[in-house]
Structure 1
Amino acid sequence: MVGIIKTERLLLRKWKEQDAEILYRMASDPLIGKGAGWLPHKDANYSKAIIRTILVDDGEFAITLRDNPDIPIGSIGLRIGADQKRGIFREDEAEIGYWIGHDYWGNGYAVEALSELVKYSFVDIGLSAVWCSFFDGNDKSRKVTEKCGMMYHHRNENLFNSMLKEYYNETMVRISAEEYFMNSKSHK
C-alpha cells in the first residue's frame, strides 16, 4: 500500500512515534473513544504503544492538513479481508474506520478523507466493496458515510465490547466498486 495519499486539503500519512503527544491529546477525549469503540487514552506512553502496535499497520493513516503535515487531526484505516462476525464475507472487501479530533469537527475533513480512501480502495487496490460502521446515536458518522455514497446494508445487534464492558448495536454501510464507478460517471 501507498504511504501518502493527498486530497485537496488533507494529507494522509503513516503515523510516527513523534505523534504520540498529539494523539494522546485528541484520543483522551471521551467523545472520540466512545464513538470509535475504545477507551480514552490515559497518557502519551499509551498513545505511543498504540502507534507501535496498531497504527503502524499497513493501511493505517494519520489525517493531517496539507499545509501542516506534522500535526495529525485524526486517523483513518483500511482493513482488507473478511470479518464474518461483522457480516463481511469476502476477502476482496475492506472496512474503513476513522475519527477526527474534536477541535476539527464540522470542517468536512472526515468526508474528504473517507472519500479519498474509498477511491483509493477501488481505483488503486481494486477491491469489490468497502464497508464502514457506526454505533447507534452516532449521527455524525452516519452523515459522513452517506455523503460518501455508502448505503445501509445490515445491523449487528447486542454485541459486547470487552474494552468498554458494554453492549452496543452498530449499523453496517457499504458501497460496491460498481456503485462507486456508476456514481463517478454520473457526476462528470
Structure 2
Amino acid sequence: MAVTIETERLILKKWTDSDAEKLYAMACDPLVGEGAGWLPHSDVEYSRAIIRSVLTADGEFAIRLKDTEDPIGSMGFRIGDSPKRGIENKDEAEIGYWVGRDYWNRGFATEALTELIRYLFEEVGIRRIWCGYFDGNVRSERVITKCGLKFHHRNENRYNSMLKKNYNETMMCMSAEEYFENKKTLKQL
C-alpha cells in the first residue's frame, strides 16, 4: 500500500522513473549530496537507478510541491535498531532527508519533517524518532531542533565509504511520550 502524506504546501509520496531529471538537477549539487552523506549524481541515468534501487523502498518519499507535484527533495524513514548509530530498539525509527538548494530557507524541510513525525507517532505507533546531522550542517540542525528533537549523543570519527572520509554526527531524538505531551501542551495554549 502506497502511503501519501500531505501538509499545507507539500505532498510526500513515492518517487517515479519520470522524476529522474528533476532528481538529477537537485542531486548533482555537491552541497546537497555531501550534507546528506552521498556523492553528487553523475547523470540522469544514475538518478534513475537511485530511484529504482533506493528511493522506491518502503518509507521513502519524494517531497513534492502540492500545487505542481514537482519533487523538491527526499525524506524517508527506517524502522528498527541500528546499534552502530546508537539506535537500540526495533520500535524506533530514523528519519533522513534532504532538500534541493533552490528550496532551502523556505520552511519546506521543517514542514515535511513535522508531518512525518506526526505520522510515525500517531499512525504507525513508533516509540522513538531519531534524526542526525553531520558537523557543519547548520541547516539540518535548525530543522531538527525546530521539530522538537533533542540532543542524545554523538557518533565521532565514523567512516563514510561513499565519500571516503570520516565524519562526526550528532544524533537527536524524541520519544512518543514527549511528542504527545508537547501536543497536549500546545492544545492548552
- 1:98-121 per-residue CA deviation (whole Å, 9 max, x = no partner) reads 011000111100000000000000
Secondary structure of 2:153 counterpart? strand
Instruction: Write the letter of the residue equivalent to 2:43.
Output: D
2:183 is equivalent to residue 163 of structure 1: no
Deviations 1:8-53 (A, max 9, x none): 1100010001000100000000000000000000000000000000
Between the aligned partners of 1:8 and 1:2, the Cα distance in structure 2 is 20
Deviation for aligned residue 1:162 = 0.7
Partner of 2:89, secondary structure, is: coil
Matched, 1:72 2:71: yes
The letter for the 1-side match of 2:165 is: E
Q: How does 1:23-172 map to 2 (within 5 A)?
A: 23-69=23-69, 71-172=70-171
1:139-167 CA-partner distances (Å, limit 9, x unpaired):
10000001000000000000000110100
Deviation at 1:56, TM superposition (A): 0.6
Distance 2:47 2:5 in 1: 23
Q: Percent identity?
A: 60
SS class of match (1:187): helix
Measured in 1, the distance between the counterparts of 2:183 and 2:3 equals 25
Computed over aligned residues only, the root mean square deviation of the Cα atoms, in angstroms, reads 0.7
Counterpart Cα distance in 1 of 2:6 and 2:166: 37
Q: Which runs of 5+ in 1 are unaligned?
A: none
User: Is the partner of 2:53 in helix, strand or coil?
Assistant: helix
2:66 counterpart letter in structure 1: R
Deviation at residue 2 of structure 1 after TM alignment: 4.6
Q: TM-score, normalised by structure 1?
A: 0.98
Tell me how many residue pairs correspond in the alignment: 187
Shift of 1:3: 2.0
Counterparts of 2:90 and 2:68 in 1: how far apart (Å)?
36
1:181 equivalent to 2:180? Answer yes
Write the distance in 2 (CA, Å) between the matches of 1:19 and 1:11.
14
* Moved >4 Å (runs of 4+): none
> Can you list the C-alpha shifts for 1:53-101, whole angstroms capped at 9, x where unaligned?
00010110000111111x1000000111000000000000010000110
CA distance in 2, matches of 1:95, 1:140: 18
Which consecutive residues of structure 2, in runs of 5 or more, have no partner in the other structure? Answer: none
2:10 is matched with: 10
SS in structure 2 opposite 1:40?
A: coil
Letter in 1 for 2:86: G
- Amino acid paired to 2:26: M
